[in-house]
Amino acid sequence: MRQDQIHEAIRILKREVRQWQEPVVGVIARTSARDPFRILISCLLSLRTKDKTTSEASARLFALAYTPEGLLNLPRRTIERVIYPVGFYRTKAKAIHAICRRLLEVYGGTVPDSIDELITLPGVGRKTANLVVTVGYNKPGICVDIHVHRISNRWGYVKTGKPEETEQALRHKLPKRHWIIFNDLLVPYGQNICQPVSPFCSRCKLAGLCDRVGVVRSR
């Protein structure tokens, strides 16, 4: 995909993703008035976990508490119980307590709005930090998960080996006006069309723009 084609690709994606379910963190952002804390915690829960499981676990947890003070006052066993069966639920329950404690001790209970500060929180990497910044604070950032990494490379738009490298490559190449929405577009497209193995190239409206890098077999 050439640099001058990215705008057309974004236009097509905006139209196509309307047919699929909105990613869970986006739903939580919309229903919580873009509360950065709930976005942060739900994003943590979503790691290595399917959207449906994340949505249900987040709802159970936030029914009990949805502030750093409230969650810190919950016993860790209670958090483990209500977020199960999200992946690594015990580790995440421990991280939730640690995050809440640090937010209260260092930031007065407010979620910071910079990536550099967010990644100092326990269990928070650049993917989560970018999502909080973009979805919670509507500030520029590029959230790169496995779908964004795979599709950006499959297009031939970037040539990188790791998601962290993809984020930096996109920061240099992707027009800034597309940063915030990029993850929201590529995640559902990656889940439904541009899948890891044997993608649905015959149904892909971006086929004419895609270099199909690494695609051995398709449907």
Q: How far apart are CA 189 and CA 191, in angstroms?
A: 5
Residue-wise pLDDT tens digits, 97-142: 999 999 999 999 999 999 999 999 999 999 999 999 999 999 999 9
- CATH number for the domain harbouring residue 183: 1.10.1670.10
d(CA 25, CA 43): 6
Residues labelled as active-site residues: 127, 145
Percent of the chain with pLDDT over 90: 92
Output the six-digit token pair for 197.
Answer: 């193995």
Asked, for residue 157, whether it belongs to a domain, the answer is: yes
- What span, in angstroms and rounded, lies between the C-alpha atoms of 178 and 170? 10
Structure tokens at 191: 């889940």
Cβ 24 vs Cβ 55: under 8 Å: yes
When pLDDT is cut at 50, 70 and 90, the band that residue 24 belongs to is: confident
Q: What is the mean pLDDT of the chain?
A: 95
Question: What range does the domain containing 176 cover?
Answer: 3-20+142-203
- Please indicate, yes or no, if residue 211 is contained in any of the structural domains: no
Question: How far, in Å, CA of 25 to CA of 6, rounded?
Answer: 25
**Claim to verify: residue 181 and residue 163 sit in the same structural domain:** yes
Residues in contact with 59: Cβ distance below 8 Å, sequence separation at least 6, in sequence order: none
Place of tokens 């967010």: 118
Task: Pick the last residue of a domain from 137, 170, 194.
Answer: 137
- Total structural domains in the chain? 2
For residues 102 and 185, membership in a common domain is answered with: no
| pTM, 2 dp | 0.89
The CA distance from 195 to 151, in Å, is: 9
Tell whether the model's pLDDT for residue 85 goes beyond 90.
yes
- Percentage with pLDDT > 70 across the chain: 100
- Residue range 170-202, pLDDT digits in tens: 999 999 999 999 999 999 999 999 999 999 999
Are the beta carbons of 154 and 113 closer than 8 angstroms? Answer: no
pLDDT of residue 33 exceeding 90, the answer is: no
- The answer to the question of residue 217 being in a domain is no
Give the dihedral of Cα atoms 148, 125, 54, 19; nearest 10 deg.
-20
Residue 216: inside a domain? no
Task: Give which of 218, 211, 219, 197 is closest to 5, Cα–Cα.
Answer: 211
pLDDT at 91 over 90: yes
Q: Are residues 51 and 131 in the same domain?
A: yes
